[in-house]
Amino acid sequence: MKKKVTAATLLAAKNNQQPQVWLTAYDAGAARMAEEAGVDVLLVGDSLGMVNLGYDTTIPVTLDDMILHTAAVVRGRKNAWVVCDLPFGTYQQSKEQALTSCVKVLQQTGCDAIKLEGGANMLNTITFLSQAGIAVVGHVGFTPQSVKKFGNFKQRAATKAESQHIYADALAIAQAGAVAIVLEHIPSDLAEKITTNITIPTVGIGAGAACDAQVLVWHDVLGLSETIPPFVQPYANLRQDAISAIATWAKDVRNQS
């Protein structure tokens, strides 16, 4: 039987060069399917807002939205490590605000870790949360909650200066006590350099094959999304399959067959 995944499991996997599989999930059924398929970590991303709640960005997602869906994922999982995203506005104000949000999430959902976006600006908060005994996952590169500041969904680290910032931020986040870090939509050579020089597992999304783990959004892997990011290769075409199945059923209903 598969053992329960922990932060220590993920670190050991990095050190043994065993790539880990992370996938987003937003409900209990998805959690069960992902685990049956061998997924190690279930990330309840605030991508929830875009793929399930119909928003254009992740910004409107609330802590209560995240708690509802994370609790469902926890009910569906057996051994996977479950990570909950802290949504926009629930941790940036102060380290105390971040701790209050984490306590609510951890106590009300039973998840294992929280994820927050940001670099140097989040170091004090990550240290504070880590010292409180919380497993924190960092997130640098393209950070979706800053999309209005970036002005687009394009790859980050377009300049040497930004690339150096992301590199320094990633290493500092590990020093501050994070247990893993998501590297989103950055050049693969930068992700490889971070992965080689950092002490915690890197989790790539659109960051090349050298990361210690890979994560994708459920809807993107399964071809359920209407628009798919340029770095994603869907492994199924479930959106079209669902439309065809529903259309066939609708025809049978109308034929009274």
- Taking Cα atoms as reference points, which of 225, 109, 208 lies closest to residue 157? 208
Between CA 56 and CA 93 the distance in angstroms is: 24
The reply to whether 184 belongs to the active site is: yes
Shortest Cβ distance from residue 24 to ligand KIV (Å)? 4
Residue 65 binds ligand KIV, judged by CB under 6 A:
no
Query: Which residues 6+ apart lie within 8 Å of 59 measured at CB?
Result: 49, 88, 145, 147, 148
The secondary structure of residue 173, as a DSSP letter, is H
By the 8 A CB rule, do 239 and 224 touch?
A: yes
**Contact with ligand KIV (CB under 6 A) among 20, 47, 70, 125:** 47
State which residue, 23 or 176, has the beta carbon closest to ligand KIV.
Answer: 23
Give how many residues touch ligand KIV by CB under 6 A.
11
Q: Which stretch binds ligand KIV (CB under 6 A): 38-46, 64-72, 74-82, 228-236?
A: 38-46
State which residue, 46 or 169, has the beta carbon closest to ligand KIV.
Answer: 46
In the bound complex, which residue of the shown chain has the CB atom lying closest to ligand KIV?
Answer: 45
> Where in 200-229 is the site for ligand KIV (CB under 6 A)?
205, 215, 217
Q: Please write down the HEC assignment for all residues of 183-242.
A: EECCCHHHHHHHHHHCCCCEEEECCCCCCCEEEECHHHHCCCCCCCCCCCCCCCCHHHHH
> Where in 111-170 is the site for ligand KIV (CB under 6 A)?
none
- Taking Cα atoms as reference points, which of 172, 69, 147, 134 lies closest to residue 181? 172
Query: From the candidates 35, 96, 117, 184, which is the catalytic residue?
Result: 184
**Contact with ligand KIV (CB under 6 A) among 27, 35, 40, 85:** 85
State which residue, 35 or 85, has the beta carbon closest to ligand KIV.
Answer: 85
Report the amino acid identity of residue 85: D
**Contact with ligand KIV (CB under 6 A) among 27, 46, 169, 192:** 46
Q: Which stretch binds ligand KIV (CB under 6 A): 25-33, 40-48, 66-74, 123-131?
A: 40-48
Between CA 209 and CA 58 the distance in angstroms is: 26
**Contact with ligand KIV (CB under 6 A) among 20, 23, 24, 212:** 24
State which residue, 121 or 244, has the beta carbon closest to ligand KIV.
Answer: 121
By the 8 A CB rule, do 151 and 125 touch?
A: no
DSSP letters along 60-113, please? T--HHHHHHHHHHHHHH-SS-EEEEEPPTTSSSS-HHHHHHHHHHHHHHH--SE
The secondary structure of residue 24, as a DSSP letter, is E
Q: Which stretch binds ligand KIV (CB under 6 A): 2-10, 39-47, 63-71, 236-244?
A: 39-47
Binding site for ligand KIV (CB under 6 A): 24, 43, 45-47, 85, 182, 184, 205, 215, 217
Residues taking part in catalysis? 184
